[in-house]
Amino acid sequence: MDTVLEVKNLSKVYRDFTLSNVSFSLERGYIMGFIGPNGAGKSTTIRLIMNLLKKTSGEVKIFGLDYRTHEKEIKNRLGFVYDENIFYEELTIQEMANLLAPFYFNWDEKLFQKLLKVFALEPRKKIKELSRGMKMKFSLAIALSHHAELIIMDEPTSGLDPIVRSELLDILSEYMEDGEKAVFLSTHITTDLDRIADYITFLNAGKIVFSANKDEILDRYGVVKGAKEALTPALKAELLGTKIGSLGFEGLTTDRTKVKDMVGTDVLIERPTLEDIMLYTVRGEQNA
Amino acid sequence: MDIFISNTAKEPIYEQIANEIKKLILQGKLKPEEPLPSIRNLAKELRISVITTKRAYEELENEGYIVTVGGKGTFVAPLSPDFFQEKRLYLVEQSLREVVETGKSLGVSLKEFIDLLSSLYKEE
């Protein structure tokens, strides 16, 4: 398999926060969603991957290459979409593109012009006049126009309306079709990933909870609900983030089949969403 | 080929896709040996994960509905009339099983069941 992104034992130590031993890898042809609550360390991880921050220890390899020896090549083959504005506000879209184009040996001006039309971006408009959604699409147009093989996105959908988010999913689906590309995107809006992501890496409090095939995770985990009397100590030990209210309990299991064997028919076991998994796990850790 | 998948359904998406394609095949809307979209093309059209789509095709292949010919793509299997007959009944049996379970838990008798079924069947 052709690994495009490999992160091994990556750590970054701050005075009040530690990202510790983060490891995962992504192969060509797939989309990986990077989820976790605010403050989990997602942006720190992405900045380390982008070489915008100095790591304390560990390893990051992109296309099998190291920044120390191949920074230029990596940046040429990589597209980056950031949630904050990284362009010059006073320039127009076309001026900004003209400034960036010479840095890329694969720049495709024809494709860029086509994408501006598809994304309804007016080349003479100044960056500062663009909405959040337009800025995100402009960043994507830049990434696609230099034929990036891997696109890394930090919270591309935060603050965007459902229409623009849906457009982004269209663009990504199209981008993935030839099987040669890969996308790594962080988000806390997990519904964007429920359908499109192949793999999910879940980060909480600076540590990886899991990095795995999304369908397998959704098949294995389960939300368990039932009457208070049904919550035996054995069952309670199986559940994460359990909440007990006047109408019963609910919690998350990492092994649906096991819980099914433990309980009767009066307990409801549901297939979770990514949001459920994130919510119960984070709550479980906070209570622990 | 028309496929609809629901975001709110209880079944996982790969199961929904597999079931939709089965239905199209059993209804004769997809003919034996007709080509199917590639995994990546279907994933793009439905805006879903490639792995999810792959899994749906694997399931269909295991159950004998489709075949993958190396280098050429995926096709509806050359199915015999016996296969259709067997699968049709099997699918109905599966749905009925659920209904029977619900009925039993509510104390509905076999006679009541049969009466209800025949009147429902005639309704259309």
Find out whether A241 and A284 touch, Cβ atoms under 8 Å: yes
Q: How far is A172 from chain B (nearest CA, A)?
A: 9
pTM: 0.89
Give me the half-sphere count of Cα atoms (radius 13 Å) on the Cβ side of residue A284.
20
At A127-145, the pLDDT tens digits run 999 988 899 899 999 999 9
Same fold, A3-215 and A221-287: no
At B11-39, the pLDDT tens digits run 899 999 999 999 999 988 999 999 999 99
* Cβ distance of A178 and B40 shorter than 8 Å: yes
Q: In this complex, is the C-beta atom of A213 within 8 Å of any C-beta atom belonging to chain B?
A: yes
At A179-227, the pLDDT tens digits run 999 999 998 888 888 889 999 999 999 999 999 999 999 999 999 999 9
Domain ranges of chain B: 13-76, 81-123
Mean pLDDT of chain B: 90
Q: In this complex, is the C-beta atom of A90 within 8 Å of any C-beta atom belonging to chain B?
A: no
Find out whether A4 and A176 touch, Cβ atoms under 8 Å: no
Q: In this complex, is the C-beta atom of A271 within 8 Å of any C-beta atom belonging to chain B?
A: yes
**pLDDT recorded at residue B112:** 92
**pLDDT recorded at residue A49:** 96
CATH superfamily of A3-215: P-loop containing nucleotide triphosphate hydrolases (3.40.50.300)
Give A24's strand partners.
Answer: A7
**pLDDT recorded at residue A219:** 94
Q: How far apart are CA B52 and CA A31, in angstroms?
A: 12
Q: What are phi and psi of B76, to 5 degrees?
A: -65, 135
Q: How far apart are CA B10 and CA B13, in angstroms?
A: 9
The CA R_g of chain B, rounded to the nearest whole Å, is: 17
CATH of domain B13-76: 1.10.10.10
At B84-104, the pLDDT tens digits run 888 888 888 988 998 898 888
Query: Which chain B residue has its CA at the smallest distance from A32's CA?
Result: B49
Give A182's strand partners.
Answer: A150
Query: Which chain A residue has its CA at the smallest distance from B52's CA?
Result: A215
CATH of A221-287, one of 1.20.950, 1.10.357, 3.30.70, 3.10.20: 3.30.70
- State how far Cα A7 lies from the chain centre: 14
Contacts of A194 in chain B (CB under 8 A): 7
Domain ranges of chain A: 3-215, 221-287
List the single range of A73-87, B33-47, B103-117 with lowest mean pLDDT.
Answer: A73-87
Q: In this complex, is the C-beta atom of A84 within 8 Å of any C-beta atom belonging to chain B?
A: no
Q: Which residue has the higher pLDDT, B91 or A63?
A: A63
Find out whether A19 and A44 touch, Cβ atoms under 8 Å: yes
* Cβ distance of A179 and B47 shorter than 8 Å: no
pLDDT above 70 (res A288): no
Per DSSP bridges, beta strands A182-187 and A222-226 are unpaired
**pLDDT recorded at residue B1:** 77
Top residue of B5, B17, B46, B50 to mutate, by most chain A CBs within 10 Å, is: B50
pLDDT above 80 (res A84): no
**pLDDT recorded at residue B7:** 75
Choose among A197, B97, B45, A178: nearest CA to B20: B45
